[in-house]
């Protein structure tokens, strides 16, 4: 997988994290105008926070691995990494059950997101007119995203993580909920 990075005034802005958040926004029913405005705001805020927090020699580590849900590969989604103590946020996209992401070294909280579109049972006339006849539904249990207790320790010699998720939200074997 090719690493997507933007170089701005010699500052490395982690494009993967921005794409991860934009992916999440795109998979929620919004008008194109709302999505464009929200995407622009998120990109600006993330760009500023990354420029303040990380320089060109930010010490980010590339990590990779697989993501499955009940043994099946998660086809499309995102992974977000938030430092528990210090360091910058990181993340990447999940494609065909595999991910590559950038992360600060150290203890990281992990959130995994993936959605599917389902037809609304009774869309309103306005929703039909606006083409909003589907809802985005998370296929990943909250225990792995909004309420995630997943924790990993990222280090130069520890870069591969396999996330074997289950629909019942149990913490995968070998993963910690505390660091």
Give the per-residue pLDDT at 39. 46
pTM score: 0.64
Domain residue extents for the chain: 5-165
| Between residues 30 and 163, the one the model is more confident about | 163
The tokens of 172 are what?
A: 């995968």
Give the per-residue pLDDT at 153. 93
Taking only the tens place, the pLDDT of each residue in 25-41 is 555 545 444 444 444 45
Taking only the tens place, the pLDDT of each residue in 49-82 is 444 444 334 689 999 999 999 999 999 999 999 9
Q: What is the mean pLDDT of the chain?
A: 76
CB 62 within 8 A of CB 159: yes
The tokens of 33 are what?
A: 């105008």
Distance CA 81, CA 129 (A): 38
Taking only the tens place, the pLDDT of each residue in 115-128 is 998 898 888 999 88
| Between residues 153 and 18, the one the model is more confident about | 153
Taking only the tens place, the pLDDT of each residue in 76-107 is 999 999 999 888 899 999 999 999 999 999 99
What one-character DSSP code corresponds to residue 131? T
């Amino acid at each position: 997988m090719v690493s997507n990075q933007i170089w701005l005034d010699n500052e490395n802005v982690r494009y993967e994290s921005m794409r991860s958040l934009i992916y999440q926004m795109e998979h929620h029913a919004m008008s194109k105008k709302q999505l464009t405005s929200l995407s622009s705001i998120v990109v600006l805020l993330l760009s500023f926070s990354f420029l303040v927090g990380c320089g060109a020699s930010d010490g980010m580590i590339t990590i990779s691995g697989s993501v499955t849900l009940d043994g099946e590969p998660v086809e499309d989604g995102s992974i977000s990494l938030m430092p528990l103590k210090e360091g910058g946020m990181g993340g990447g996209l999940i494609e065909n059950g595999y991910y590559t992401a950038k992360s600060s070294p150290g203890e990281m909280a992990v959130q995994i997101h993936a959605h599917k579109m389902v037809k609304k049972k009774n869309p309103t006339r306005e929703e039909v007119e606006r083409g909003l006849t589907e809802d985005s539904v998370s296929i990943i249990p909250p225990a792995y995203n909004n309420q995630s207790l997943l924790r990993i320790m990222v280090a130069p010699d520890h870069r591969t993580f396999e996330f074997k998720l289950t629909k019942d939200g149990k913490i995968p074997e070998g993963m910690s909920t505390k660091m």
